[in-house]
Amino acid sequence: MAKYAGDAARELGRGVARATRRTSGTSRVGYDGVFALLFINFALFAMDHWLAIGAVKTLYLNHARPTWWQFVTSTFCHANWAHLSSNIFFLYIFGKLVEEEEGAFGVWMSYIVTGVGANVASWLLLPKSVGGVLGIGGAATVSLGASGAVFGLFAVSVLVKLKFNWRRILEVVILGQFVVDRFLTEAKMVAAAGSGVGAGNVNHVAHLGGAIAGVLLIFFLSRLVPS
């Protein structure tokens, strides 16, 4: 009996050790990358709209006279609270999905690359100067917001989970149907709006550009980086 009790105790100890290892392994994903992105978006919004620091508006993408850094910095700026609120919700959800797979550097790279891709698409396809279609005064078209990068994270979050595992397949189906539906909706909006800017000055071109940039990012990385 003592032998069996000792064996049972040892097995219980091994089980606890395995569970502890699994728990500690999961806790290593602290989502530092996502929370850093959220903090910067909040901080710039506060500086722009609450503290009225005029220099923040130089970070918006000015389509008539763009500077190179505006293609990056404008992805952290927002026109109003409703604009910020909707973007950070999806950034939080889908950014965490990407960071779980690719780490803090991966979610940052995904955000920046797809955000820049969205802005380049906007700059190429939208009018440069039409009384400020997305504008904050003046005659220039102005783009700002994280939505292009968020659409990029939509695409990346699905593609990084593509593995031959029934749980991953289920995740891809759940996420994929949402992402495809959003992509098709944006495509219809672009076709209906003509200019690529819909009601409420929503930049549908940026949304499509960000999603396509996300697909291209994963495609090229899959060719360059060993699995």
Which are the catalytic amino acids?
A: 147, 207
Contact between 41 and 87 under an 8 Å Cβ cutoff? The reply is yes
Neighbours of 84 (CB within 10 A): 22
Rounded distance between C-alpha atoms, residue 82 and residue 202, angstroms: 12
Considering only CA atoms, which of 160, 66, 156 is closest in space to residue 112? 156
What secondary structure does DSSP assign to 36-84, as a single string? Answer: HHHHHHHHHHIIIIIS--GGGGGGSEESSS--TTHHHHGGG--SSHHHH
CB 219 within 8 A of CB 205: no
Count other C-beta atoms under 10 Å from residue 46's C-beta: 13
